[in-house]
Amino acid sequence: MTSNCRPGHPEAPVVVIDTEQEYVDALENIERLRNAPEGSVDYLLMVAYGDAIERYLDARNSSRSPHQPA
């Protein structure tokens, strides 16, 4: 999992998920951070993890052939 700054929002990191274990870790991080106050660093991390999970799942689903089950 890598992270750097999100363009236009230097305070919000961009998280990149490359493996299934990083995906599981990101889900656990979101659960841990879900009550963070809006605008806090923890909240920004939760949003970044959510964005990364969405991109990871989109990439994983688009790499399946039409004959593979979802």
Q: pTM of this prediction?
A: 0.72
**Mind listing the pLDDT tens digit for each residue in 39-53?**
899 999 998 999 999
Q: What is the 3-state secondary structure (H, E, C) of 19-32?
A: CHHHHHHHHHHHHH
pLDDT given for residue 2 in this prediction: 52
List the beta bridge partners of residue 14: 4
- Tell me the domain boundaries of the chain: 2-62
Q: Provide the 8-state DSSP code for 8.
A: T
Residue entry with tokens 């230097």: 10
